[in-house]
Amino acid sequence: MILAPLRGVTTRCFRETFAEVIRGVGFTEAVTPFVSALPGRDPLRERELSGGPLPFRVTPQFIGKDPAALRGCLEKVKEAGFDTADLNCGCPFPMVRSKGRGSGLLRTPRVLRIMLETGCGVMGAGRFSVKTRLGVDRADELLDLMPVLNDFPLRFLAVHPRTARQMYGGECDIAMFERVAAAAKMPVVRNGDVPFEPGGGSCGNVMVGRSFIRYLGSRADIGALLERYISASLAEFGGERPVLGRLKELISYWRDSPGWRRRWDAVKICRSVVELRSVI
């Protein structure tokens, strides 16, 4: 069971604060929210990939379309001690895919092939993975690309069984997911609307994100965990505004649960950490 990358939520600070919970419920790995595979200094990338060891594998995920830039980033993370990496081929947001990144790579098989050659070449066989969608407009686009993906010794292929156009709405196409899995020469991991079960249940290889985050809000110790998260976030940012944004993003996942419905109305209008602490 792999912790899915959720932009703005499953950050380094989150992984460190909730590490015991993440490992305790059965996760063996976390894929980071995507960081840019662009040359030059990137404070977000540096912050995301810093920190000490955790009781589960951390796999950096990169987004981009420049093989040379990807190579440089992968060489640096290998030097930093990471032995696995992931390529984002699934981000559905129009501003990303219109630039040929994320799910936009599904429309450029030649670029995709070079990115895979770079990733597998730098990280080594069985050390580079891909997270993707079924397609951009059609659910059979990924199936058509399997001959390209099958040419590489990927660690796994994580598939969210929706198209990019669907974003996070509509039904997952499980039948097409199964066709992709049958055509794949590498392990295939299911992502997207996967229910969270402590211990992983018997659902096979899965990448779980939103359902795990919703589960956190129901824990009896969530108040203490949030206090630790606030303190760690204040130390990271040194200011209240980004901390409030981070906590509101997390708590928004719980707004429909019985214990948080009323509190969410107060949380979303908090203007200071003191106010936030008094609510939670």
**Among candidates 133, 196, 129, which has minimal Cα distance to 160?**
133
Residues of the chain where predicted confidence (pLDDT) is lower than 50: 202
Radius of gyration of the chain (CA): 19
Topology annotation, domain 2-216: TIM Barrel (3.20.20)
Exposed, middle or buried by CB within 10 Å (0-12, 13-18, 19+), for 274? Answer: exposed
The ranges of the chain annotated as CATH 3.20.20.70 are 2-216
pLDDT of residue 190: 96
Question: What is the spatial distance between Cα 55 and Cα 26, in angstroms, rounded to a whole number?
Answer: 11
Q: Kindly report the pTM of this predicted structure.
A: 0.94
Q: What are phi and psi of 85, to 5 degrees?
A: -150, 165
**Among candidates 191, 94, 186, which has minimal Cα distance to 134?**
191
pLDDT of residue 110: 98
Contact present, 60 and 77 (Cβ < 8 Å) = yes
pLDDT of residue 201: 59
pLDDT of residue 149: 98
pLDDT of residue 203: 58
Q: How far is CA 222 from CA 8, 81, 200, 215, in A?
A: 19, 32, 21, 10
